[in-house]
Amino acid sequence: MAKSTRPKTKATRPPTKEELLEKAKQPGKDAMILHPFYRGKIQTVPKCAIRGYQDFSIWYTPGVAKPCLDIRTDHDKVWKHTNRGNLIAVVSDGSRVLGLGNIGPEAALPVMEGKALIFKYFGGVDAVPVVLDTQDPEEIIKTVKFLRPSFGGINLEDIAKPKCFGILRRLRAELDIPCWHDDAQGTAAITLAGLMGALKFVGKALDQVQIAMLGVGAANVATAHILIAAGVPPGNIIMCDRLGLLYKDRYDMDAVKLKEHDKYNLAMMTNKEGQSGEFGEAMRGADVCISASKPEPGIIRKEWVSSMASDSIVFTLANPLPEIWPWEAKEAGARIVGTGRSDFPNQVNNSLGFPAIFRGALDVQARTISDQMCIAAAQSLADFAEEKGLRKDYIIPKMDEWELFPREAVAVAMKAIETGVARVERDEKELLENARRIIKASIDQTQLLMEKGFIPKPPI
């Protein structure tokens, strides 16, 4: 059997920077052992009872004809007779994967499988990876619309901007099932949750802080919109792209208006003082830094962090590597540091959001996932962390606290009902019991398959 190369550190002293760097590389090393060992991360498992071969006459021909005819008479009965109400498609063209760039559909498939795995384990949501051999926006839209009858929701993933915004807008307008872009709305919801917890810990208010944002891609564009919707004054946000700080009179705004509508709108709303220059200018005196840019430590300089306000909050969300190492940000004076990685404290990652957000949307057959539903999810996560006890290394819940997912799902479902986008109305207690049952069953099923050996023991 292959052996792990995990570094061993002594418990009697804190790890060195070199050991921390090695730790940061370890998940990738282990992935190259375990991915080929399991040959993928998901499979199809029956959900119906099979008492004997005679049952196949019920689940397939001739018995299956009856539910088919029932659905033909009333298309809404598809939700009753099939798994459509718990099934989503994870759709990608592989044009912007994780921070790896345009690596294509085949290379994107491991990410989509991982997404489907997390959907199932933490949300009890059945998810199917669908990688498309086209990067044309119209073909992507057309394909997703063709797929609509099979699914209860669509999760767009790792699609390059600016086309991802146009695809999302069109599909949200033209589909009658939830469609969202997890790199955008998902990251935005969890970033807001982390910020709520961090601000509560340092004693600052969301509507008072100054926020510097590095990167104007899908994640930060959506995050800026969610922050504004949640109460941050637009003028208190300063965004930065590769050309420098974004402001309404910047020389390239006419070209941006034609090509990147969402970016242009943010330029018109944010940076009330019209500051220019590099990102360090935006960080000077800022309370919060949110970076979703290039996955390369050193992109954010220590001196920029040192120039921030007291009790500063730094979220460096690029994957697989953050824009500054957490220990360097702390050395520079940051009070709270979060990254997108699970092996550092304060993981600000959309994995805390999408399983439960879709669970809640599916449980009330929502027609969409709105910004209000995302804010409800963020508030639920922030409340959960506060109840557990906020600390500088715990301003947002962890993935292994599975109890958060049913609560988050209920918050989303109730907001869908409140805002009139739910097809089905259910009371809060029923929703919580249902979400807990489904999610706990999914976790227990995986553990049972491991105990019985149907999922082989990993070699490391």
Active site residues: 60, 115
Is residue 270 within 8 A of residue 238, CB to CB? The reply is yes
Residue 310 is given by DSSP the state T
Token pair, residue 336, equals: 């709270």
Distances (CA, A) of 203 to 130, 194, 199, 230, 407: 44, 14, 6, 17, 25
Helix (H) or strand (E) holding 432: helix 428-451
Distances (CA, A) of 424 to 112, 202, 245, 407, 427: 29, 40, 45, 18, 10
Across the beta sheet with 244-245, the strand order is 244-245, 237-241, 211-214, 288-291, 313-316, 336-339
SS3 402: coil
Amino acid residing at 378: A
Q: In angstroms, what is the C-alpha Rg of the chain?
A: 23
Instruction: Tell me which residue of 146, 200, 206, 188 sits closest to 357, measured CA to CA.
Output: 188
Instruction: Tell me which residue of 143, 140, 111, 113 sits closest to 128, measured CA to CA.
Output: 113
Instruction: Tell me which residue of 354, 361, 362, 363 sits closest to 381, measured CA to CA.
Output: 354
Q: Which residue has the tokens 């306000």?
A: 309
Is residue 220 within 8 A of residue 254, CB to CB? The reply is no
